[in-house]
Structure 1
């Protein structure tokens, strides 16, 4: 690092110039030209397509699973419609005891204002990159590798 001289403001400006500019990282816009697993993108200012070996993709843009705990207190509304009225949309516990006689028949089930707790559920995200998606990429290693950070939209 060079020796910085001058007033406090001058030193700050010189320091920002020295440390603030980073030619090693560039942010660019790109378009997905082929969906995973054979992912390819075309960076706006480049004439060639980058292939999956040149890319690092943020997990949120891939098919992936996450474990969650979910809790709602009195604000949950659960609804289900039975698409086949001859078959109930749920199974009864074999140990359940029913009093009386008759047939239970319904086309839907709604529970309002229910407390709900789900422990260690698995959430699967399916919305991976697809052809035509616009993405924000960061070029690293002097443009040898590109990291896809997220989808982008314009209004």
Structure 2
């Protein structure tokens, strides 16, 4: 690094410019031209499409499964009107009465589900606009998120 001259403030500004500038990472906008699994994108200023081997995709933009615990108190509505005859619930009491349920509904119920499995299916689609970061002098691109414009 060459010698920085000028006043103290000027030296500080020059130092920040010299150290703070990072040309190794560029942020760009791109368009998905082919959806996964054969993902391709076209970065706005480039004439070529980038293929899946050149891309790293944030998990939130893929189809994936996560485990979660779900809890709701007092505001949960659970209902079912499509229980089939094969899955009819039969409850018998000690007095010999038999009650059959073919559907049920509950309002304002408490609900707790332990170890639920959530499947996220909103993966990238053709023509989605995405925000990408170019790394390794533009040899690899990270797809960070969808770009939404209002």
TM over 0.5: yes
Whether 1:129 aligns to 2:127 is no
Alpha-carbon separation, structure 2, partners of 1:15 and 1:67: 47
Provide runs of 4+ in structure 1 moved above 3 Å: 1-8, 88-92, 101-106
Could you list the runs of 5+ residues in structure 2 that have no partner in the other structure?
A: none
Tell me the CA shift for residue 71 of structure 1. Answer: 1.2
CA distance in 2, matches of 1:13, 1:7: 10
Question: Secondary structure of the residue that 1:14 maps to in structure 2?
Answer: helix
Provide, for residues 4-27 of structure 1, a one-character-per-residue CA deviation record: whole Å limited to 9, x for no partner. Answer: 555443233123201221111000
Query: Number of residues paired by the alignment?
Result: 147
Aligned to 1:34: 34
TM-score (norm 2): 0.85
Deviations along 1:23-48, one digit per CA (max 9) or x if unpaired, are: 11000000000011110000010000
CA distances 1:61-85 after superposition (whole Å, capped 9, x unpaired): 1111111111112222223332x7x
3-state DSSP class of the match of 2:138?
Answer: coil
Q: Which residue of 1 aligns with 2:20?
A: 20
* Structure-2 change in CA distance of 1:3 and 1:66 (3 Å): farther
Q: CA RMSD in A?
A: 2.3
List alignment gaps of at least 5 residues for structure 1: none
Alignment match of 2:139 (pick from 122, 141, 144): 144
Separation in 2 of the partners of 1:113 and 1:66?
A: 27
In terms of fraction of residues, the more strand-rich structure is 2
Change in 2 beyond 3 A, CA 1:32/1:128: same
Q: SS of the residue aligned with 2:92?
A: coil
Task: Give the one of 90, 97, 115 matched to 1:120.
Answer: 115
